[in-house]
Structure 1
Amino acid sequence: MQELLQELLCDSSEFRTWWPEHEVQRIQEGHKAFDHPEAGRLIFEHLTFQVYDTPNLKVTVYTPVEGTETPAKINQLLREWEGASLP
């Protein structure tokens, strides 16, 4: 999460303005599993954030769970996708 926060602070003037106001609330966290047709089961941690005065605005961040096969599977899928997108 710290990496994402730093990236948003560096790249977004709007985020730099909003972040100090602390109007973003974390509302849900946990694990979620997806069954990918090629990679099989992928397990992620997720955090969902909601803007305090805009309940319809939510952002969910999914992070591969360390200690599972998910990080390696994601890397393999990315390598395959990058290879497929080359001319």
Structure 2
Amino acid sequence: MRNLSSALMLIFFVGINYIYGFKWISLILILIVLLCLETPAKENIELLKSQIEKNKVEIEMIKWNTQVAMSATKLNLKNFERMQDGKSN
């Protein structure tokens, strides 16, 4: 948020300098604005990439836990059927 407000202030000053004919100062300020906006974007992209990797790992863990739970359920069902067969005999 701080970078955004700084960028907006710089854009304002760029406009004023351009109107009054200071084009070189305007170009320098435009470069500063671009640098201010680019840095947080790169950080956000890296943060999103790490979050995606973390989510992929969590999804794999959920898949594995689901397979384990299904295997345990099948085993419990077989044991229950054996118990029922033993009681009926």
State the TM-score, normalizing by the size of structure 2: 0.28
Larger radius of gyration: 2
Greater helix share, 1 or 2? 2
